[in-house]
């Protein structure tokens, strides 16, 4: 496969699927995906794709792994990319501890999740900070530290 093809394909997928979707701060959601890729500091194209597509199954397919995997396969993504995204997907009924263990089981997901947590913990992105935002940021920081310890 030609170098850059997977990355171009993932950019196209997230630009299409997240079109018209905004984050809590009112910014286009695709900017979060791009920031996560940037924060990963990875030169590995497959890790970059995992970073970009990390929320696609959870947010677009509402955690439906089967539909999300079928979609990603249909777009020609490698097993490594798909598995990395699946390991970052919180599915309905899964506890936070189960989710954290799943993320921690995949080295690529650890890289991408640390970048995701870093961006999600930036409270400067929010228009106003509530006690709920502070509690979430503390929880994210604790998760980041757990991932840091295994990476």
Helices 29-40, 45-53: inter-axial angle, 10-degree rounding:
150
Can you list the domains of the chain with their CATH numbers? 5-150 (1.10.3210.10)
Measured over the CA atoms of residue 72, residue 113, residue 19 and residue 10, the dihedral's sign is negative
What tokens were used for 150? 């295994």
Stronger pLDDT, 33 or 1, i.e. the higher one: 33
Neighbouring C-beta atoms of residue 23, cutoff 10 Å: 16
pLDDT tens sequence across 84-132: 999 999 999 999 999 999 999 999 999 999 999 999 998 777 778 889 8
Give the CA radius of gyration of the chain: 15
SS3 state at 22: strand
Q: Does the structure show a pLDDT above 90 at 20?
A: yes
Q: Residue 122's pLDDT is what?
A: 85
What tokens were used for 95? 């506890």
pLDDT tens sequence across 43-61: 999 999 999 999 999 999 9
């Amino acid at each position: 496969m030609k170098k850059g093809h997977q990355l171009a394909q993932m950019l196209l997928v997230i630009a299409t699927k997240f079109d018209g979707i905004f984050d809590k701060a009112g910014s286009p959601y695709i900017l979060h995906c791009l920031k996560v890729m940037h924060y990963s500091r990875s030169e590995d194209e497959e890790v970059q794709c995992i970073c970009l597509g990390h929320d696609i199954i959870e947010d677009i397919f509402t955690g439906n792994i089967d539909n999300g995997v079928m979609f990603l396969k249909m777009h020609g993504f490698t097993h490594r990319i798909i598995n990395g995204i699946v390991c970052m997907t919180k599915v309905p009924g899964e506890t936070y501890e189960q989710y954290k263990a799943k993320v921690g089981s995949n080295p690529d997901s650890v890289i991408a999740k640390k970048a995701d947590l870093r961006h999600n913990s930036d409270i400067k992105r929010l228009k106003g900070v509530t006690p709920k935002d502070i509690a979430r940021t503390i929880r994210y920081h604790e998760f980041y530290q757990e991932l840091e310890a295994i990476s």
